[in-house]
Structure 1
Amino acid sequence: MCSTKPYYNDSSVKILQEYIRIDTSKEKNIERAVNFWKNQADSLGLPFAVYRPSGKPICVITLRGRKSKLPSIILNSHMDVVPAAEQNWTYPPFSAHIDDRGKMFGRGTQDTKTLGITYLEAVKTLMKSGIKLRRTIHLLFMPDEESGGLNGMIPFIETKAFKDLNPGFFFDEGMASPDDTVYVLYQDKRHWQINLTLYGDGGHASTLPKRTAVEKLRRLLDITSEFRDQQIQIKLSNDPTDYGSYTSINVDIIRGGIVANVIPSQITVVIDMRLAISAQICEVEAMIQKWISEVGNDTNLSFIAKVDVAKPTRLDATNPYWVAVEDALKDKGIKFLPIVFPAASDMVSIRNRGFPAIGLAYLPRTELLFHDRDEYVQVKTFLKGIQVYTHILQKVCNLL
Structure 2
Amino acid sequence: MDAQAAAPLTSTILEDETLLFARELIRIPSVNTGDPTTIGDGEARAAQYVRRLLEEAGYETEYAESVPGRGNLVARLPGRDRERGALLVHAHLDVVPAVAEDWTYPPFVAEVHDGVLYGRGAVDMKGYAAVLVALARHFARARIVPWRDIVFAFFSDEEAGGVYGVRWLLEHRPHWFAGVTEAISEVGGFSVRLGERRAYPVATAEKGIGRLVLTARGTAGHGSRPTGDNAVARIARAVATIADHRFAIVRTPAVEAFAAEVGALLGEPVDLDALDPADPRLGPVAPLLAAALRNTVTPTIVAGGYKANVIPGEARAEFDVRVLPGQEESLRHEVEALLDPGLEVTWDRWVHPIESPSAGPLLDVLGAAIAAEDPEGVVVPYLMPASTDNKHLAGAGIAGYGFTPRRLDDDADAFGHFHAVDEQVPVDALRFCARVTERILREA
- Would the aligned equivalents of 1:235 and 1:246 in 2 still touch at CA under 8 Å? no
Tell me, in whole angstroms, the C-alpha distance in 2 between the residues paired with 1:193 and 1:235.
27
| Residue among 336, 348, 366 paired with 2:391 | 348
2:258 paired residue number: none
* Mapped pair 1:78 → 2:92: yes
2:166 paired residue number: 153
Deviation at 1:193, TM superposition (A): 1.8
**TM-score of the pair, normalised by structure 2:** 0.75
2:199 paired residue number: 181
2:23 paired residue number: 17
| Residue among 206, 220, 236 paired with 2:238 | 220
1:337 paired residue number: 380
Aligned residues: 380
Inter-CA distance 148–234: structure 2 relative to 1 (3 Å threshold): farther
Segment drifting more, 116-125 vs 299-308: 299-308
Identity, % of aligned pairs? 23
* Mapped pair 1:50 → 2:56: no
What does 1:1-400 align with in structure 2 at a 5 Å threshold? 10-26=16-32, 27-28=39-40, 29-52=42-65, 56-100=70-114, 102-159=115-172, 161-162=174-175, 165-175=178-188, 176-179=190-193, 180-203=198-221, 208-227=226-245, 236=276, 240=286, 242=289, 243-258=291-306, 263-277=311-325, 280-291=327-338, 293-294=339-340, 297=342, 299-310=343-354, 312-316=355-359, 319-332=360-373, 333=375, 334-365=377-408, 366-367=412-413, 368=415, 369-396=417-444
Q: One-letter code of the match for 1:280?
A: Q
Segment drifting more, 359-368 vs 232-241: 232-241
Tell me, in whole angstroms, the C-alpha distance in 1 between the residues paired with 2:385 and 2:324.
9
Inter-CA distance 395–289: structure 2 relative to 1 (3 Å threshold): same
Structure 2 gap ranges (5+): 1-14, 33-38, 250-271
**TM-score of the pair, normalised by structure 1:** 0.82
- Would the aligned equivalents of 2:72 and 2:155 in 1 still touch at CA under 8 Å? yes
Segment drifting more, 261-270 vs 135-144: 261-270
Tell me, in whole angstroms, the C-alpha distance in 2 between the residues paired with 1:163 and 1:390.
22
Q: One-letter code of the match for 1:112?
A: M
Deviation at 1:154, TM superposition (A): 2.8
SS of residue in 2 equivalent to 1:50: strand
- Would the aligned equivalents of 1:186 and 1:313 in 2 still touch at CA under 8 Å? yes
Deviation at 1:320, TM superposition (A): 3.0
- Would the aligned equivalents of 1:47 and 1:63 in 2 still touch at CA under 8 Å? no
Structure 1 gap ranges (5+): 1-8
Inter-CA distance 272–177: structure 2 relative to 1 (3 Å threshold): farther
- Would the aligned equivalents of 2:366 and 2:379 in 1 still touch at CA under 8 Å? no
Tell me, in whole angstroms, the C-alpha distance in 1 between the residues paired with 2:226 and 2:144.
77
**1:286-306 alpha-carbon deviations (Å, 9 max, x no partner):** 222234x32x61x33323322
Tell me, in whole angstroms, the C-alpha distance in 2 between the residues paired with 1:339 and 1:91.
33
Tell me, in whole angstroms, the C-alpha distance in 2 between the residues paired with 1:343 and 1:309.
10
SS of residue in 1 equivalent to 2:388: coil
* Aligned residues: CA RMSD: 3.1
**1:165-193 alpha-carbon deviations (Å, 9 max, x no partner):** 32132111123454332111111112122
Segment drifting more, 81-90 vs 331-340: 81-90
Q: One-letter code of the match for 1:328?
A: A
